[in-house]
C-alpha cells in the first residue's frame, strides 16, 4: 500500500487500514463470483467449491510482526505482512487450482507480486496449497490504493488436512511429539492419493460422457436414435 489517505490519517490509522483491506477482500470475492459464473455459463462446470475470506486479527498481526522481528507499527504492517487480507479458494481438483490461478493473473487490475507453489513443492510437514500474493486497487475518494491480498487455492482434501493440522499443530510449532508429525505427514500422503484418485475418476467420467455423446450423435446421423426403432416397429407392424 503506497499511501494512507490523509483524511483517514487524522481519524484512526488502524481502522482506516482495516477498512481498505476489508474493501479489497470484498472486491476479490466479487471477482471470484463473476469468474465462477462465467465458467458455469461457458463450460457448464464450476471450478470453485467455495470461497472464504478473512481479515487477520489484531493479535495475529502483532504476533506475526514480533515473530518476524519487526516493530509493531502500521507501516510495518502494510509493508512486511502480505496476508492481512486473505482469500481461500477451495476447488475440487488440482487441475482447477492452476486454471483459477491463471484466471486471476489475467485480470487487468490484479498485479501478481509473487507465487508460492506448495503443490509442486509441498512443505516438509505435507502442507499443500497454491499461494499468490497480489495487489488490487481499492478506489477511495482520493484515488486508488493498491492493496495486498493473499490468495490460497487448494482442493477440498488439501483444505481438510490444512484446517485440522492448523488446529492441532501448526500454531503450536515446537514441542509436538515426533509420532504426531509423522502421522500428519502420512495423512498428507493419503490426501495426495485421494486427490489423484478423484481426478482420474473424474477424467474417466468426462471421457465416458463424451463417448456417450458422440455415440448418440453418430446414431442420430445414421437415423438410429433411441426413439426411432420404436417408430420403425410401429410402422413395420402397421404394414403387416
**Footprint of ligand 0O2 on this chain (CB under 6 A)?**
56, 60, 64, 82-83, 116, 123, 125, 127, 131, 162, 165-166, 170
CB neighbours of residue 3 within 10 Å: 11
Tell the smallest beta-carbon distance from residue 200 to ligand 0O2 (Å): 26
Tell the smallest beta-carbon distance from residue 24 to ligand 0O2 (Å): 15
Adjacent-strand bridge partners of 115: 132
Tell the smallest beta-carbon distance from residue 118 to ligand 0O2 (Å): 7
Distance CA 45, CA 47 (A): 6
Tell the smallest beta-carbon distance from residue 126 to ligand 0O2 (Å): 8
When the beta carbons of 19 and 170 are compared against ligand 0O2, the nearer one is 170
When the beta carbons of 11 and 164 are compared against ligand 0O2, the nearer one is 164
Rounded (to 5) percent helix, strand, coil in the chain: 60, 20, 25
First to last CA, the chain: 85
47 CB contacts (<8 Å, ≥6 apart)? 36, 39, 91, 92, 96, 99, 100
When the beta carbons of 125 and 231 are compared against ligand 0O2, the nearer one is 125
Beta pairing, strands 85-91 & 130-140:
unpaired
When the beta carbons of 105 and 202 are compared against ligand 0O2, the nearer one is 105
Amino acid at each position: 500500500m503506497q499511501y494512507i489517505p490523509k483524511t483517514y490519517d487524522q481519524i484512526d490509522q488502524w481502522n482506516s487500514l482495516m477498512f481498505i483491506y476489508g474493501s479489497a477482500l470484498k472486491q476479490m470475492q466479487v471477482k471470484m463470483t463473476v469468474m465462477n459464473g462465467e465458467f458455469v455459463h461457458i463450460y457448464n462446470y464450476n471450478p470453485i467449491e467455495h470461497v472464504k475470506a478473512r481479515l487477520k486479527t489484531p493479535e495475529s498481526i502483532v504476533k506475526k510482526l514480533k515473530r518476524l522481528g519487526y516493530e509493531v507499527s502500521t507501516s510495518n504492517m502494510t509493508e512486511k505482512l502480505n496476508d492481512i487480507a486473505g482469500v481461500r479458494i477451495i476447488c475440487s481438483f488440482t487441475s482447477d487450482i492452476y486454471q483459477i490461478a491463471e484466471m486471476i493473473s489475467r485480470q487487468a487490475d490484479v498485479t501478481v507480486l509473487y507465487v508460492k507453489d506448495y503443490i509442486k513443492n509441498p512443505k516438509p510437514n505435507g502442507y499443500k496449497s497454491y499461494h499468490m500474493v497480489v495487489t488490487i486497487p481499492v478506489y477511495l475518494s482520493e484515488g486508488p490504493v493498491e492493496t495486498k491480498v493473499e490468495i490460497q487455492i487448494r482442493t477440498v482434501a488439501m483444505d481438510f488436512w490444512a484446517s485440522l493440522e492448523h488446529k492441532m499443530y501448526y500454531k503450536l510449532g515446537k514441542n509436538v511429539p515426533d509420532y504426531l508429525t509423522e502421522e500428519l505427514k502420512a495423512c498428507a500422503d493419503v490426501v495426495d492419493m485421494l486427490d489423484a484418485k478423484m481426478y482420474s475418476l473424474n477424467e474417466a467420467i468426462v471421457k465416458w460422457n463424451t463417448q456417450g455423446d458422440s455415440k448418440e450423435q453418430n446414431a442420430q446421423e445414421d437415423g438410429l436414435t433411441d426413439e426411432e426403432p420404436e417408430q420403425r416397429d410401429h410402422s413395420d407392424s402397421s404394414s403387416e
